[in-house]
Amino acid sequence: MRGSFEVENGPSPGRSPPDPQASPGLVLLPGGPPGQRRESFLYRSDSDYDASPKSMSRNSSIASEAHAEDLIVTPFAQVLASLRSVRSNFSILANVPTPTSSKRSPIGSQPPLCKATLSEETSQQLARETLEELDWCLDQLETLQTHRAVSEMASNKFKRMLNRELTHLSEMSRSGNQVSEYISSTFLDKQHEVEIPAPGPKEREKKRRQPPPMGQISGVKKLPPGSSPGGSSVPRFGVKTDREELLGKELDNLNKWGLNIFRVSEYSNNRSLSCIMYTIFQERELVKTFRIPVETLLTYTLTLEDHYHADVAYHNSLHAADVMQSTHVLLATPALDAVFTDLEILAALFAAAIHDVDHPGVSNQFLINTNSELALMYNDESVLENHHLAVGFKLLQEENCDIFQNLSKRQRQTLRKMVIDMVLATDMSKHMSLLADLKTMVETKKVTSSGVLLLDNYTDRIQVLRNMVHCADLSNPTKPLALYRQWTERIMEEFFRQGDRERERGMEISPMCDKHTASVEKSQVGFIDYIVHPLWETWADLVHPDAQEILETLEENRDWYHSRVPHSPSPPPRPPPPPPPQHRFHFDLTLEEDEEGQEPRAGGAPPPCDPPRAPPPTLRHPPGAAPRETPRGGGGGGRAERTRGGGTRSGSGDPPTL
């Protein structure tokens, strides 16, 4: 099986001849000591989200095993961990020795316990806990829907947890509500329902002049004259530039995280994607392995880059070049050394290069809400992602653009399938499902095996590759701050342009697209806390310890934006209440006199025999009526946060203040 898989996918670099008894694998190493780094909301105590009273024991069920520092949070892995615990406890209670060769023996080198060494009370307690564990497992399995993947259990749980976090965030302030709506509508696969106004005369006239391009792929155009490479000499980095030396110095960092892609664009005459794609294909010897004609590669890269819109602020060829270079670095991470074949590497890099081609600078939901031709063509499902794929593959049919011309038919089919899977995974509404799939896979393998993730089938391999490209697509907050800030300015500019178009059409403005109300700093903190951090945290678990510096940069950038979140405007100060009366009995006497029918003097003046005094504060502000100031970041009060070691940290479990 593996041999045939290798033949179709091409040899993997640095791998010895295929061993029919072996499979490509990834060693899963335990994470660092608890408390070293802030954990994402996925590690909140389950009791904050799960109704099951036994949810806490799910977390502690593996505390006696080798992964004591890792908290298992995906439901299916929790079930497996509990069953392992039940098995271990049974062997103790029944005094049955566990074979050392059993694959289900507890992971680790702890000495086995014997029932004879346990007191009667301890033995009874262990039996009760074992029965409770087994009952909980049965409850989970009885409610499991057989037609759904087990990773959906995690996806539903994570969505529920995120909804809880976003509800709390939206209650904190108006800007918090806008950030919450943006994250919910973008990353939770929720349709943002709006009332679509009737098209105006100009729009109706425009549609009459431009017949719908149904039945053909829109956006494909011919390469402008003079753009195609000519002559016998091939530029060193695939693009013509008079600053080749400066470009070369920047590309010395091609294999490093945090390459300054903005300088690459400057030194390559705004041909960053062509430059990066050509250089990476040469660096990895893909040109030689798959016999790609150099002139064909140059023609395709230039044609592809020309189909990215230069007037789109963020989703342009610069972003595609950045994602491709980031994918290139992630493929080279030591933990994944020699795991993927050359064909899989080619597919991942090609997917990154085309993943946003012909992006119009608006969201899927905008296209759906405006009844665009693309939304009609793709039935509102991953509209842009389907279009990017169609354009990327269609360009291969242009003259001298087929870079895959020397692949076998089977290789082309396999590559196309992988590329489609990876580009569709860049639809941000699929984010939580992707995250749940990866986390379930990693945690399940940690619980059920000796810490080796066997990537010996297409499903597991493509799952890692899809998440890799997704991570690269969401890598801006993990880059050096100077680069991250430039990306933030660009994405907000694109959002605001969409908001302006929605305002002109009389539509409801999408979350974070209103330039008059959006909080840039708070949006980035929320984006990191609820989307980027959980994803990269899971990726770091997969490739530990290779991504630790990336996590550190992410946390530093998050803190930088958090320190610049503008404070919510305070309500206007109320006049201070008057001082309380000196003698309570005097206030009571006044009430009694009023009740006895004494006529009040004009203007409410006190009798001349009494000294003037202010009315008591209880008349101005009855007890409990004065509004109280709510501390910033409050609202969750007193959640116990679960550590990776199974313990708790006292204090609020709410997300950091935005």
What tokens does 124 get? 């009874």
Question: Tell me, what amino acid is at 589?
Answer: L
C-beta separation of 453 from 26 below 8 A: yes
Determine what percent of the chain falls in helix, strand and coil, rounding each to the nearest 5: 55, 0, 45
Three-class DSSP category at 371: coil
Residue 502's alpha-carbon distances to 61, 328, 401, 507, in angstroms, are 52, 37, 38, 5
CA R_g for the chain: 31
C-beta separation of 3 from 18 below 8 A: yes
C-beta separation of 158 from 431 below 8 A: no
What tokens does 153 get? 């259990």
What tokens does 126 get? 């262990």
Helices (H) and strands (E) in the chain, counts: 26, 4
Three-class DSSP category at 569: coil
- List phi, psi (to 5°) of 8: -75, -30
Query: Which residue in the list 67, 192, 307, 315 is annotated as catalytic?
Result: 315
What residue has token string 């994402």?
A: 40
Three-class DSSP category at 642: strand
What residue has token string 């499991």?
A: 144
Rounded to whole angstroms, the Cα distance separating 110 from 116 reads: 17
How many residues would you count in the chain?
A: 658
Print the SS3 string covering 80-122.
HHHHHHHHHHHHHHCCCCCCCCCCCCCCCCCCCCCHHHCCHHH
Rounded to whole angstroms, the Cα distance separating 293 from 299 reads: 10
Three-class DSSP category at 30: coil
583 is catalytic: no
C-beta separation of 389 from 377 below 8 A: no
What tokens does 147 get? 């037609």
Q: Which of 452, 378, 599 is nearest to 103 (CA)?
A: 452
Q: Is the dihedral of CA 274, 275, 277, 279 positive or negative?
A: positive
Q: First vs last Cα of the chain: how many Å apart?
A: 52
Q: CB count, 10 Å around CB of 328?
A: 24
Q: How open is the CA angle 148-151-153, to the nearest 5 degrees?
A: 75
Residue 432's alpha-carbon distances to 155, 233, 304, 530, in angstroms, are 6, 48, 30, 10
Q: Which of 264, 353, 347 is nearest to 307 (CA)?
A: 353
| CA 489, chain centre distance (Å) | 20
Peptide bond before residue 545 is cis, with ω within 30 degrees of 0: yes
Peptide bond before residue 606 is cis, with ω within 30 degrees of 0: no
DSSP string computed for 393-417: HHGGGSTT--TTTTS-HHHHHHHHH
Q: Please identify every residue annotated as catalytic.
A: 315
